[in-house]
Amino acid sequence: MVEKHKLKVVLLTGRTIEQGVGKELGKITSEYAESVSVCYMDPEDMKKLDIKDGANVQVSTAFGSVVVKAKKSLRAPHPGVIYIPYGPWANVVVDPETHGIGMPTFKGVPATVEPAPDKPVLGLSELLKQQFGKG
């Protein structure tokens, strides 16, 4: 599965209590940004990529690519599955197709993860500027 430090995975997005609390506190807080610009990974997968907790990684799908911080999952084992909390970072890489029922695909999107030591995790307003040219 590992091809030159790139791992094929399945991307899930979802709620966490940190994201839940963060969103109630207000979304321009750094707590909020920090709580949702992360990617929870299985420790074994992190070993394969040779990265440590908190390292920047680039997550790419057919729909986009975004840099987030890798975090060791407390919910392991779930090899081959990564988890990004709901938020603007996750939205860059989820599948917009609604298959005629109005609902995009937020879970189970094929993705790759690779270390990105030289690329920064964008802050919220930088991300919005980059994505929408507004904000």
Q: C-beta of 50: minimal distance to another protein in Å?
A: 24
Does 83 sit near another protein (CB under 8 A)?
yes
Q: C-beta of 127: minimal distance to another protein in Å?
A: 9
Does 107 sit near another protein (CB under 8 A)?
yes
Candidate residues 55, 72, 86, 123; the one interacting with another protein per rule CB under 8 A = 86
Q: C-beta of 99: minimal distance to another protein in Å?
A: 7
Distance between CA atoms of residues 122 and 66, nearest Å:
9
Residue 12 burial (CB count, 10 A): 18
Does 63 sit near another protein (CB under 8 A)?
yes
